[in-house]
Amino acid sequence: MPFRFAGTPAGKRKTMNFRLTHTAAVISSLFAHHAIAEPLSIDRPTELESVVVSASRFMTPLEKAPGQVEIVRQDELNSRKNDRLSDVVKYIPGLTIQPGRGTTQSTQAMSLRGIPDERRMLVMVDGIPVNDGYAGSVNLSGMPTEILRQAEVMVGPMSSLYGGTAMSGVVNFTTLMPKAPMFNASFGYGAPFSRGTAPEDTRRISLMGGTLFDNGLSVLIGGNWMATAGYRNENVTATSSPGATVSGWTQTSSNKGVNAYLVGNKGATAWEENGEYIKLEQRLGGLNKWRAGWQRQAYEYSNSTPESYLRNSNGTTNWNGCTPTTAICSTWMASPGAYERQIYSLGGDIETLGGLLKISAAYIDVSSNYFITPSTSRISDSPARSELLDAYWTRQLGRHGITLGSAWRHDRANNSEYTLSNWHDASSRGNLYANVSGETNSLGLYAQDEWQLSDRLLAHFGLRYDYWKNSNGHIETPGWNSGNIYKNYASRTAEAWNPKLALRFEVNSAFALRTSYGSAFRAPSVYELYRSGWIGKTNLTANPLLKPETVTTLDIGADFKPWQGGELKFTAFSNRMDDLIYTQTSGTTRNRINAEEATSQGFVVGMTQKIGDSTRLMASYTMTDSEVRRNSQSRISQGKKIAYLPQHQATLGFDTSYGPWTLGSNLRYASKQYSTDDNSDFAGNVFQSYDAYTVVDSRIAYRIDKHITASLAIDNLLDREYYSYYAAPRRNWFAAVNYAY
């Protein structure tokens, strides 16, 4: 039965379905006006050159890249089930992604080699940053995975080339462009093995098509849609016993070990997402070309009827003091929400002054980013607008590879809370309850020299200057019952110089030593500077005096190819973070502060082994020892682990093909993580805890003919039960059919 989400006008879902239908019509017309040449299947593995673009802004072979660099190639992509772009990189050594509630999770928290939070990681798609302009978060829901060519991960501070945000590293997803007429369609359906333990009734469709015209113009058009009825992942607990005459409750605890009673859940989180995109690129002779693109992503979610486990002595349902079918009960109600973003991009490559000038511009419009709190009948919406411009020139001068560039970014964001006359309808907005807004501007100038000092020794010298300004900060709270605020904040500025030095020495053709030293910074976002108020039962307090946070990193490593097809990588690292933007927890209040000093150090070891042309084995282990060293505003956090950083991580996997068959299986492990600055959330296997987990995901595919492939994927094969704040998805399957021409 079709469903519609709370807070969504009745005609909205029809519009979503129309968009995908319209995309199919455009693709059909593209083929109708162009003769079809040799068929091209993007699903079959393609041999790709090991080229890193994001590491040095040069077309650098992987073997020459500075520091720890990882690549996920197209053949690896084809051996896995990739629901989100984040799934593509979740087996990268040193990178952790919180599972949350799976495909019904809007943003997935990520950490990279000892530095927590995706806000400190620059994530790009075709070189366009997708960290949002409001909070710096990375929202990948609704973005297509089918058009990926490869993913590059540069680990370690990269502010010397990319400015703020690139504290832990850079992730760049590179998409393909057609070299001949092509068409791809994929249809899939999935469900859990045990009802109610993972997203139910999951349906997924993707369509894309493109061609290369005789004038060198390449066009790619596509769309994707996914919907699921979700599963019940958000528990309802009580701090006191429901009573001697009431049955059905279960003894449990809070994530801090306080005695509690499990009495029900907030219903299944239904989810629907969709996306569309157009890419254009034309070669103009030599290395000259222009490119343009448009991409839209959107999703919406809401919960079904809550469920109480409690029963009175006569067998009737007990709602523990508040019945959600007749009243608005904060205990039982979950927050519905929606999101929509469009990305417009334009760029080009120009041969000039003996080198190549690359120019990239983008406009990012987050038109909707809201959630509704039923108990207060209020909507909180956080739209944002971002303009970006980046230009850099590269040239090879003898043994020197020179890069000179400049980058500019402007973000405007606000958060508005309105009362709703009907919390089921997001358009029924009434009076303004509270509003915060602000702008940030950043300007960067950078230079790098990739110097081949000798046949065996390669050096990278980089330096970037950044100027940051936040302005037009404003808060007004006309709806607060007491202590109303109306305030304009003064503008603030900051500067940063971030160097990077990397050396790579090739002992012989099979063994290389490398080291790098660098610094990076991140300026506070509009959200961190100005957003105050209640989100659920948590009271957030803004801090307009937050300073930019910085990190200084030293790493030493080695790359070793001891035998045919084998490769070992080892990296030891040490991070020092100053003025870390941190959250101080005090009861239900979360204060944003700068912690004076925090450190993390450890090592990453990874192994790959190719057996013939069709089999690959992979394994990795990461150890991170983290500590908050000095935090005068929250002394209880001193000596504690940094929040959202696991101490141990590991991956193990293989993929193989035999004739028409392809099989892949991967294990990932992460130790327990803390979400509070005082590490008081020590309890495990309870709602809102971040448990240790060991999860195995597998996929088998069969190529029926040169165009059609059928596949079956099983996630959480061992049916592990654990919490990633929410109850994480347990064992579930997804079957798909792909047509590629």
Read off the pLDDT of residues 432-447 as tens digits, 9 standing for 90 and up: 999 999 999 999 999 9
Buried b / exposed e across 448-459, counting CB within 10 Å, b at 16+? bbbeeeeeeebb
User: Hey, what are 528's tokens?
Assistant: 């961190």
Q: Is residue 277 part of a domain?
A: no
**The two three-digit tokens of residue 415, written as one number:** 């958060």
Answer whether residue 14 shows pLDDT above 90.
no
| Strand pairing category for 169-175 and 121-125 | parallel
10 Å CB burial of residue 648 (0-12, 13-18, 19+) is: middle
What's the confidence (pLDDT) of residue 27?
A: 61
Q: Is residue 284 part of a domain?
A: no
* Percent over 70 (pLDDT), the chain: 92
pLDDT, one tens digit per residue, over 479-519 is: 987 778 899 999 999 999 999 999 999 999 999 999 999 99
pLDDT at 166: 96
Predicted local distance difference test score (pLDDT) of residue 7: 38
Write the Ramachandran bin of 320: left for phi over 0, alpha for psi from -120 to 50, otherwise beta.
left
If you ran DSSP here, which 8-state letter would residue 232 be given? B
- At 590 the pLDDT is 80
Averaged over 553-568, what is the pLDDT? 97
Cα–Cα distance for residue pair 103/314, rounded to 1 Å: 39
pLDDT tens digit string along 255-289? 999 999 999 999 999 999 999 999 999 999 999 99
Asked whether the predicted pLDDT for residue 392 surpasses 70, the reply is yes
Q: Take residue 628 and report the two structure tokens written for it.
A: 């908050």
Which of the 8 DSSP states describes residue 62? G
CB 513 within 8 A of CB 504: yes
pLDDT value at position 586? 67
What mean pLDDT is predicted for residues 234-249? Answer: 93
Residue 110: closest CA among 548, 564, 652, 646: 646
> pLDDT (tens digit, 9 = 90+) per residue, 192-224?
999 999 999 999 999 999 999 999 999 999 999
Instruction: State yes or no: pLDDT of 1 exceeds 50.
Output: no
Classify residue 238: in a domain, yes or no. yes
Confidence bin at 31 (pLDDT 50/70/90)? low
φ, ψ of residue 479 to 5 degrees: the values are: -90, -5
| pLDDT > 90 in the chain, percent | 81
Q: Is the pLDDT of residue 728 over 50?
A: yes
612 Cβ neighbours under 8 A, 6+ residues apart: none
Backbone angles phi, psi at 525, to 5 degrees: -90, 170
Written as six digits, the tokens of 266 are 């907030």
| Weakest-pLDDT range from 196-205, 329-338, 448-457, 562-571 | 329-338
275 domain-assigned: no
Residue 24, CA distances (Å) to 21, 139, 220, 299 in order: 5, 25, 12, 20
pLDDT of amino acid 485: 86
Question: Which domain does 441 fall in, by range?
Answer: 12-264+293-740
Residue 283 lies in a domain: no
Backbone angles phi, psi at 337, to 5 degrees: -165, 175
Neighbours of 151 (CB within 10 A): 23
> Which residues on neighbouring strands pair with residue 217, listed in sequence order?
282
401 part of a folded domain: yes
Reported as a single tens digit per residue, the pLDDT across 663-687 is: 999 999 999 999 999 999 999 999 9
276 within a domain of the structure (yes/no): no
Within its chain, how far is the Cα of 64 from the centroid? 28
- Burial level of 493, CB count in 10 A (0-12/13-18/19+)? exposed
* Locus of tokens 């009076």: 431
Beta partners for residue 299, in sequence order: 273, 339
**What span, in angstroms and rounded, lies between the C-alpha atoms of 170 and 258?**
40
| Cα-based angle 448, 450, 454 (whole degrees, multiple of 5) | 150
Whether 604 shows a pLDDT value over 90: the answer reads yes
Single-letter amino acid, residue 174: T
pLDDT surpassing 70 at residue 51: no
Mean pLDDT for the stretch of residues 697-708: 98
- Can you give the pLDDT at residue 607? 98
Residues whose CB is less than 8 angstroms from the CB of residue 215 and which lie 6 or more positions away in sequence, other chains included: 282
CB 304 within 8 A of CB 4: no
Summarize the confidence of residues 565-593 as an average pLDDT.
91
Q: Report residue 629 as tokens.
A: 């060293």
For residues 121 and 10, the model is more confident at 121
Tell me how many domains the chain contains. Answer: 1
For residues 598 and 600, give the distance between their C-alpha atoms in angstroms, rounded to a whole number.
Answer: 7
End-to-end distance of the chain based on CA atoms, in angstroms? 33
Give the CATH number, domain containing residue 62.
Answer: 2.40.170.20
pLDDT above 80 (res 20) = no
Q: How confident is the model at residue 26 (pLDDT cuts 50, 70, 90)?
A: low
Q: Is position 451 within any domain?
A: yes
pLDDT band at 55, cuts 50/70/90? low
